[in-house]
Structure 1
Amino acid sequence: MTIRLRAHHLLCMLTFAGKGYTPAFVASYKAIVKRLNDGAAIELVDGPDDICVPMLNDNTCHCYNESVRERDRLAAHNIGLLLSGKPLSIGPLRLSGEDISRLRLAFQDGSIRQACAGCEWYELCTGIAQTNFRGCRLRPPQ
């Protein structure tokens, strides 16, 4: 089954180490990363995705905010330029092990983190990147 991801979550998944907004959010995210590790297909979507699902019924849900949509636009632009020379577009997305490695290197050097500016998880993700992503749950595809 295909996993629906918004563009900025392609950055978030690089450093996901089992922390998140709520226990339900973390459990859902772990299951999504397991499916990615098992080879599930990715579909890039515009707006809330499978990672957002546990938060969508919360009155304070930020998943529809314009600031989050701007994160998606920035991430799609930067990730796409790195991987293919053009911004990512909505639809199926295939990430190879080499792609994940390239994304992580660019994440470490900050060249694709424009979408991360102002994020409450910025320092956590920076620390994880500085340890060469030790403890991250996403494995590069084989």
Structure 2
Amino acid sequence: MTIRLRAHHLLCLLTYVGKGYSPAFTANYDRVAERLSRGEDVLLVSGPDDVCAPLLDEPEPHCLNESVVERDRLAAQDVEELLAQSIRVGASLDLDAAILARMRQAFSAGRVRKACGSCEWNELCSTIAAGGYSDTLVHRSASPGKG
């Protein structure tokens, strides 16, 4: 299967430790983290994705806000530059161990953080990065073909 992600969630997954907007959101994100860790491919989408799904039942889901669309644009620019590959809607991405390590190193160094400036989770993510990502839920094996 394929996981549908919007661009800024490529950054969020780096520091995801099981905290979120609601119990339903967190339970869903835990499942997405498991799937990513097993090696499922990512399909980049515009707008709400597999992570956002539980928020769509809210009266005014923030995932539809223009500020979130801008966050996607900034994240796509940063990640595309870092990985030297297309981070556009419709592109596929295999988040293997090497790519995750590279993205986490760049995140810790502040090189892929433009999208994070106005995010309410920014401080938590900074703390997790400073702690070496030890409690994060998205992991990949370094072995080829293993997730």
Same fold per superposition (TM over 0.5): yes
Q: Distance in 1 between matches of 2:6 and 2:49?
A: 6
RMSD value, Cα: 1.1
Paired residues in the alignment total: 141
Q: Contact 2:36–2:95 (CA<8 Å) still a contact in 1?
A: no
**How high is the TM-score relative to the length of structure 2?**
0.92
Structure 1 consecutive aligned stretches of length 4 or more whose deviation exceeds 3 Å: none
Q: Distance in 2 between matches of 1:49 and 1:43?
A: 10
Partner of 1:115: 115
Q: Contact 1:18–1:137 (CA<8 Å) still a contact in 2?
A: yes
Q: Deviations over 1:88-117 (max 9, x none)?
A: 112211222111101000100111000001
Q: Deviations over 1:3-33 (max 9, x none)?
A: 0000000000000000000000000000000
Kindly indicate whether residue 21 of structure 2 is the aligned counterpart of residue 21 of structure 1: yes
Q: Distance in 2 between matches of 1:69 and 1:134?
A: 29
Structure 1 residue 73, shift from structure 2 partner = 0.3
Structure 1 residue 87, shift from structure 2 partner = 5.2
Q: Percent identity?
A: 49
Partner of 2:81: 81
Q: Kindly report which structure 2 residues correspond to 1:48-127, keeping only aligned pairs within 5 A, or say none.
A: 48-84=48-84, 88-91=87-90, 92-127=92-127
Partner of 1:2: 2
Partner of 1:34: 34
Kindly indicate whether residue 139 of structure 2 is the aligned counterpart of residue 139 of structure 1: yes
The letter of the residue matching 1:48 is P
Specify every segment of 5 or more residues in structure 1 that has no aligned partner in the other structure, as ranges. none
Structure 1 residue 141, shift from structure 2 partner = 4.5
The letter of the residue matching 1:34 is E
**How high is the TM-score relative to the length of structure 1?**
0.95
Q: Distance in 1 between matches of 2:141 and 2:61?
A: 31
Structure 1 residue 65, shift from structure 2 partner = 0.7
